[in-house]
Structure 1
Amino acid sequence: MSTSTPLTIGHLVESLEDHGVAAALGDLAAAGPDAGFRVVLVALAPSGHSAVADRVARAGVAPVELNVAPWDPRAVTKVLAVFRAHGVDLVHTHGARPDVVGSAAAARLRVPAVSTLHHIHEHPADRGDQLRRTARTMARKRFMTRTIATSVLQRDWYRRAAGSTEGLSVIPDGAADPGEGTVQERLRLRHGLGVDENEVVAVSVAPMRRGRGQDLLLDAVAEIGPDEPLTVVLGGDGPLRPWLESRVAADDALSGRVAFRRSADPVELLRAADVQLHTTRHDTMPRMLLLGQGTATPAVATRVGGIPEIVTRDTGALTPVDATRIADELVRLVRDPDLRARRGAAARARFLQRFESSVWAASLGDVYRSAAGVAGAPAPAELDTPEPVGRG
């Protein structure tokens, strides 16, 4: 295959939900052509209106949403038909069912398959669960040309299950540059909140779901004295929203300091904020933290999952899953505007260097060309992540 011929990459996901694994693929589709490939996106299940679908369509190829019931044997045939019609050169899968269906479709098309790990399975429930996870990992090694981990933590888990990191690359998901906020955006948010322009506004835009830590965040805010010039905004939505709203309404201290912005664009909130809060109890590589860095917003985040691979001491504060420690770090940023400015600038620089979508697309382009046998592409061994140091 010629080095000048763009590759067509068929991405297969479970659905196009905006908070699912497909969330970043719109940005990848836009960045792909400059990295030598175009994206064809197929979802096994419908999701209704999706911002992901809109972004992918604007990048050139409208996504296809199938209506395939779980483990429907027709799934492979349906996916195969779409990929064949688009002349797919490589299949890239995301998730358990897409892995199975996508690898079968790739085999029928006689093209390589690549899979991304999107979750960490750190603590198996029992011996049987551990054996099943190990079996799935070994199947991945057999049927996938390459596996992509989005974090070093995933790499270490994979090595324990598979015995080595051969055929594994660590490539964090990326995001299109959201740009820095302006003074006007900052003032508009404060005006809408009815607070002084000198008030520090901290924003959380994580989905309001179990384990995402908004309850912990409210515990932390409740510990902060009333004299601190701080307003906290909870953006977004989710099943826990009614409970969170009722808790705030029932507490005078919280209701005077915490606001909800259900329909606000999370990126617009981040661009206008002084601090980003991400107090989750578990996470892999949260996209909203990447976007926060792109907006030059320093973060206070919990030290869990792959978050320490995003937030550093230069770009924000990492805390245990502890309300008091979260409150302490937030107050420190509230009181020190110079520290906020330094960390915000460092966050922006780190985003552009490591997580901006063109950087992501370039790394994936190397993987795609290598797997497809494009002349001059990196050899497979060059793409393998180094073995973890000190791990036997």
Structure 2
Amino acid sequence: MKIGHLVESLDPHGVAAALADLATAGPAAGYGLVVVALNPSDQPGIAARLGRTATPVVELNVAPWDPRAVPKVLRAFREHGVDLVHTHGLRPDVVGSAAAARLRIPAISTLHHIHAQPADRGDHLRRTAKTLARRRFMTRTIATSMLQRDWYRAAAGSTAGLSVIPDGAADPGVGTPEAAARFRRGLGVAENEVVAVSVAPMRRGQGQDMLLDAVAELPQDEPVTVVLGGDGPLRPWLESRVAGDELLSGRVAFRKDTDPVELLQVADVQLHTTRHDTMPRRLVLGHGTGTPAVATRVGGIPEIVTRETGALTSVSASRIAEELVRMARDPQLRARRGAAARQRFLDRFEASVWADALGAVYRSALGHADAPAPDELDAPEPALPLRGA
């Protein structure tokens, strides 16, 4: 099978990063990818990664509501002989379903966001209309979390044609003691110091302000250093706040240019203190590195972090601080949760698992004889024993 994926752009912070992992795992699951972006990206990293897997990439340049969008996408998919269209995002949904209809091939849409709190009745009606349109024009819909499934059912009145398959990722691998030791020396912290890392993008709603509040509540003699990786529009404000607070500046470090996976591989704890999130990829990657997590209990996060793999807290600086201290003071708890996080990643989120689950949906949509029934297409949830950690 050849699957045409349509995205808004090849922005490395969007869904395209996951598609680069899927392109590697897809052939073993019976299909290849063609990736079409409606807008060009000024960052070539994802296109280069896709190129290394021999995945055709087409970057268009179509403005919103450009009537040429459908013909351009149609031409790209036709030239590459795609068998099925898979869309990601509102505009790709509209353009991709129209192109698929012209090609007379199935179309599948993945939900990447939840709009659970409409601003008013008109907004609710518009969202419901979009959901019903998806049911009308899409052969299948994929939710990345059970939370999305419940939201979709409330909006559409049914989950017919919907499968729950969390986005996967290529195995990032675990770090080495040597790399962790080098990183600690670079930070200037002692061997017994616990290093907690946050790699969430620095933008509104991701909770780094609350995380700094939590750091301020840690006991002064607690041997914990917090590293903030990544970048975003809030970075200057965060750096200014830390620089202006003697307590924070002695405990918080920034690492803008270090790869997030490399930070997670040398961390003792991952912090993900967002106020809302659907299925954060970087939290999934943290589990892949075997790093236990302290995360807020919002959105789809409880479907990643369990009591076995980390600690879930309310959206509260005090509760975040309490769980971080508990984890910092118990190396055996960290080791146990880290091992469980790694296993959960391999069982549920590793790219080959994701590719196989999507392959089953693709075969079903195309009517293949070996395809499972539609009601069997949800990705299985691995059972984890509860040990009371």
The TM-score normalised by the length of structure 1 is 0.95
Tell me the equivalent position of 2:98: 104
- Unaligned 5+ residue runs, structure 2? 381-389
- Is residue 283 of structure 1 aligned with residue 280 of structure 2? no
Distance between the aligned counterparts of 2:76 and 2:41, measured in 1? 18
Deviation per CA, 1:51-102: give whole Å up to 9, x if none. 3222211111242111110110100011111111110000000000000000
* Contact 1:177–1:356 (Cα < 8 Å) also in 2: yes
Give the secondary structure class of the aligned counterpart of 1:20.
Answer: coil
* Contact 2:174–2:290 (Cα < 8 Å) also in 1: yes
1:115 to 109, 118, 126: 109
* Contact 1:167–1:384 (Cα < 8 Å) also in 2: no
* Contact 2:12–2:43 (Cα < 8 Å) also in 1: no
Distance between the aligned counterparts of 1:196 and 1:10, measured in 2? 50
Query: Following TM superposition, by how much is the alpha carbon of 1:307 offset from its aligned partner in structure 2, in angstroms?
Result: 0.1
- Is residue 124 of structure 1 aligned with residue 118 of structure 2? yes
Deviation per CA, 1:284-308: give whole Å up to 9, x if none. 0000000000000000000000000
Query: Following TM superposition, by how much is the alpha carbon of 1:22 offset from its aligned partner in structure 2, in angstroms?
Result: 2.0
Distance between the aligned counterparts of 1:227 and 1:62, measured in 2? 55
Which has the larger displacement, 89-98 or 59-68? 59-68
- Is residue 197 of structure 1 aligned with residue 191 of structure 2? yes
Residues 236 and 377 (structure 1 numbering): CA distance in 2 closer, same or farther, change over 3 Å?
same
Tell me the equivalent position of 1:38: 32
Residues 384 and 224 (structure 1 numbering): CA distance in 2 closer, same or farther, change over 3 Å?
closer
1:72-91 matched pairs, under 5 angstroms: 72-91=66-85
Question: What is the count of residue pairs matched by the alignment?
Answer: 380
The amino acid that maps onto 1:229 is P
The amino acid that maps onto 1:39 is L
* Contact 1:12–1:42 (Cα < 8 Å) also in 2: yes
* Contact 1:42–1:63 (Cα < 8 Å) also in 2: yes
Query: Following TM superposition, by how much is the alpha carbon of 1:384 offset from its aligned partner in structure 2, in angstroms?
Result: 6.5
Deviation per CA, 1:152-195: give whole Å up to 9, x if none. 00000000111111100000000000011110111011011011
- Is residue 226 of structure 1 aligned with residue 226 of structure 2? no
Tell me the equivalent position of 1:178: 172
Tell me the equivalent position of 2:351: 357
2:151 to 157, 161, 184: 157
* Contact 1:150–1:170 (Cα < 8 Å) also in 2: yes
1:28-67 matched pairs, under 5 angstroms: 28-67=22-61
- Unaligned 5+ residue runs, structure 1? 1-6, 387-392
C-alpha RMSD over aligned residues: 1.1
The amino acid that maps onto 1:335 is R
The amino acid that maps onto 1:94 is H
- Is residue 312 of structure 1 aligned with residue 312 of structure 2? no
Give the secondary structure class of the aligned counterpart of 2:67.
Answer: coil
The amino acid that maps onto 2:130 is R
Give the secondary structure class of the aligned counterpart of 1:358.
Answer: helix
Tell me the equivalent position of 1:4: none
Tell me the equivalent position of 2:385: none
* Contact 2:5–2:33 (Cα < 8 Å) also in 1: yes
Give the secondary structure class of the aligned counterpart of 2:204.
Answer: coil
State the identity as a percent: 77
Distance between the aligned counterparts of 1:273 and 1:116, measured in 2? 32
